[in-house]
Amino acid sequence: MVKAGADLNMMNNHSLTPLYLAILNDNRDCAEYLLEEGAMPFMEGSDIEKDRSPIFLAIRTQNTELLQVIFDHEIQLNVKNSAGLTPLMFAAKHGYS
């Protein structure tokens, strides 16, 4: 589907993207592939969309392996969630190292 031009950042009816679902299911290979093909770890739009950004899920689940995959793709880390927190601020606030 990706090769046919599927939108990698399209949300399902629960406002979840394919990358979010890959992280939720702890599927590193899929997450890495999606990032390489242009999936975004940050969502913009409504508060629910921002809060369901894949990077915040990876932080909440303390999935350091998937966070490393995101960081390896040199992703901009200054995007804020609905509470105005960047990923680093979010991690610090919740005590995630």
CATH 1.25.40.20 fits 18-93, yes or no: yes
d(CA 97, CA 77): 16
Contact 57, 45 (CB under 8 A): no
Locate the domains of the chain by residue range. Answer: 18-93
Query: For 66-72, which contacts have Cβ atoms below 8 Å and span 24 or more sequence positions?
Result: 66/23, 66/26, 66/28, 66/31, 69/28, 69/31, 69/32, 69/35, 70/31, 70/35, 70/41
Q: What is the pLDDT of residues 27-84, one digit of tens each?
A: 999 999 999 998 988 877 766 777 778 888 889 889 888 888 888 876 667 788 888 8
d(CA 7, CA 56): 21
pTM reported for the whole predicted model: 0.80
